[in-house]
Amino acid sequence: MSSDDRDTMPTDIRGYHRRTKHAPNRYAMGPGFLDWTSQPAPFRLFEGATQTPLPLIDETPAFPGPAPQPAALDLAALGLFLELSFGISAWKNYEGSTWALRNNPSSGNLHPTESYVLLDAVEGLAGAAALYHYTPLLHALEERAVYTAARVLPKGGFLFALSSVPWREAWKYGERAYRYCQLDAGHAIGAVAQAAAALGWRAQALAEPSDGEIAALIGLDREDAWHKREPEHPDLLMWIATEPGPATPLDLFALIDAPRAFHGQANRLSEDHDGWPIIDLAGQFCRKPRQPRPTTPTRAQAPAPGIDGVSIGAAVRKRRSAQRMDGATGMSREAFVALLASTLPSESTLLAAFPWPTSVTLIVFVHRVEGVEPGLYALQRCSDVAARLRAASRPEFEWALVDLDGLPLYRLYAGSVEKEATKLACLQPISGKGCFSVAMIADFDRGLADDGAFAYRRLHFEAGLIGQALYLWATALGVAGTGIGCFFDDTVHELLGLPPGDTQFQDVYHFTVGAPVEDTRILTLPPYPDDRRVRR
């Protein structure tokens, strides 16, 4: 990066990406220190909105699902769906400080992602169709807008919207925070899809709606939706199918124009703010227009085999971001195959919710896997993308297909890669002390050529969704994962032999899986009062 990149504001999303790269000799710009007095509140609440507490249900099907029969859309089912996707998993306490962990992972546990649900009339909620905000703190729905009609949606499902408050991430991470918001939206897609599977429902992200349409639908274009310097941006809209069969076409404009009354005022998250204008710019660069649904190849979908003795609820609620790995424990060949297979486009629970083309290839650093030689590997998730990455990378790489139950894993070279994995992940030992780690390499130029600047977001969505699959499968298999947003971008490209300055492929996310080392000094407390739990 030249000094000019740091001294002038970018004029497009490529400039933002280039400016926010980390390198061994300098990091992307961030706060000089953490101002704890301005730390954003982790929970959005709407003052004056009617709140409806939701039931807490313990019982869930075997992981990864889906449930054999779809559940009826009632208050109990909504409670389980929202708790498994965005609810609190535990409270932690250490030396007088208490903080919440949630079922959806987030960079730095800062949780920029908010969620909204649009439902036809449901017994126990408003007597008409309504828009609600989900608050994990209370495990409750806040009534944001009520329609004049009992039904406004197509039969057989409801709408679920995701949004981001970038200030929550920028407070800690500065200019790179926009990237992390998009990764968290990808995590959220996976969290929603897994929660839907627990009820026999299906989640599908909708590729067509524009940011403006989503903002108008969920009220983000209103003055009562957020406070100055704390803007909340639309991420995406999802259809949650609660009944089998094809969905009726959705008339989004009719939903926006239909008569409804809004209620509530968003809480202020911080009394003071440090501005990061580049994040506002990145949001403007990537503003999504209405787009046609992409034509993606038909993928054979098949449910993954269940894991004996592990329920969806256990996998979701026990998921944690490991802080340390022991650097000694190995992983079985079978577990390794299951983990990597969970990230393939053919996976039918999480990845099936993603409507855009497969654009991310996994570079796998194998450290301690039974029957798999340590070394650098590539997991082919799309044959065309992998072929072009192969052509662009080092000619001395082997690209030898490994015999692993049909898994499209190719060895690039054999030998210890612990030091490389650690160095590339901003010198974080956790990347080298796990059983394996991955770098997610995006088909960058082609994505931007096909979808414009919005592709920057959906490439990160895809990487975050892959991370969520690894999180859940690692937990179900008795190990742990951690997403790594700090990595030396161009040093990774150099390892692969990608030409300096070339952006055909770009690194967008890292992840590590292994045996965690628990910090026994930290006290774990239950997420919600036990008397709210319903056994059925």
Digit-coded pLDDT (tens) for 469-501: 999 999 999 999 999 999 999 999 999 999 999
Q: What is the mean pLDDT of residues 455-480?
A: 98
SS (HEC) of 55-72? CEECCCCECCCCCCCCCC
Which of 461, 460, 437, 459 has the alpha carbon at shortest distance from 511? Answer: 437
Domains 19-31+45-265 and 320-514 equal at CATH topology level: yes
- Chain segment 120-177, per-residue pLDDT in tens: 999 999 999 999 999 999 999 999 999 999 999 999 999 999 999 999 999 999 999 9
Alpha helix segments (H runs only) across 347-382: none
Strand partners, 157: 241
Q: pLDDT tens digit string along 202-251?
A: 999 999 999 999 999 999 999 999 999 999 999 999 999 999 877 778 99
Bridge-partner residues for 375, per DSSP? 366, 414
Return the pLDDT at 227: 96
Percent of the chain with pLDDT over 90: 89
pLDDT at 3 over 60: no
Query: In the structure, what pLDDT confidence band is assigned to residue 298 with cuts at 50, 70 and 90?
Result: low
Please list, in sequence order, all residues whose beta carbon lies within 8 angstroms of the beta carbon of residue 312, skipping any fewer than 6 positions away. 60, 61, 62, 63, 64, 65, 84, 194, 197, 198
d(CA 493, CA 393): 9
Asked if pLDDT for residue 1 goes beyond 80, the answer is: no
Q: How far is 72 from 33, CA to CA, in rounded Å? A: 49
Q: Do residues 265 and 222 touch, judged by C-beta distance below 8 A?
A: no
Sign, Cα dihedral of 480, 486, 491, 492: positive
CB atoms within 10 A of CB 344: 20
Q: What is the mean pLDDT of the chain?
A: 94
**Options 3.30.70.920, 3.40.50.970, 3.40.109.10, 3.40.50.720; which CATH number does 19-31+45-265 get?**
3.40.109.10
Q: Which of the two residues, 245 and 260, has the higher pLDDT score? A: 260
Hey, what are 13's tokens? 């999303």
- In percent, how much of the chain has pLDDT > 70? 96
Q: Where are the domains of the chain?
A: 19-31+45-265, 320-514
pLDDT at position 497, please? 98
Name the nearest CA neighbour of 103 among 120, 118, 85.
Answer: 85
Report pLDDT for 301: 61
Tell me: pLDDT of 4 over 60.
no
In the block, tokens 């310097």 appear at: 229
- What's the rounded mean pLDDT across residues 189-195? 98
Average pLDDT of span 354-383: 97
Asked if pLDDT for residue 322 goes beyond 70, the answer is yes
Which pair of structure tokens corresponds to residue 304? Answer: 């993954």
Closest CA to 203 of 162, 241, 172, 234: 241
Question: By CB neighbour count within 10 A (0-12 exposed, 13-18 middle, 19+ buried), where does 424 fall?
Answer: buried
The answer to whether the beta carbons of residues 289 and 210 sit under 8 Å apart is yes
Per-residue pLDDT band for 348 (boundaries 50, 70, 90) equals confident
8 A C-beta contact, residue 188 and residue 236: no
Token duo for residue 211: 């940011």
CATH class (in words) of the domain with range 320-514: alpha beta
pLDDT given at position 413: 98
Q: Sorting pLDDT into bands at 50, 70 and 90, what band is 300?
A: low
The span from the CA of 233 to the CA of 164, in Å, is 5
Q: What pLDDT sits at residue 33?
A: 84
- The 8-class DSSP code of residue 372 comes to B
The residue whose two tokens read 């662009």 is 392
Task: Indicate the range of 287-301, 371-385, 522-536 predicted with least confidence.
Answer: 287-301
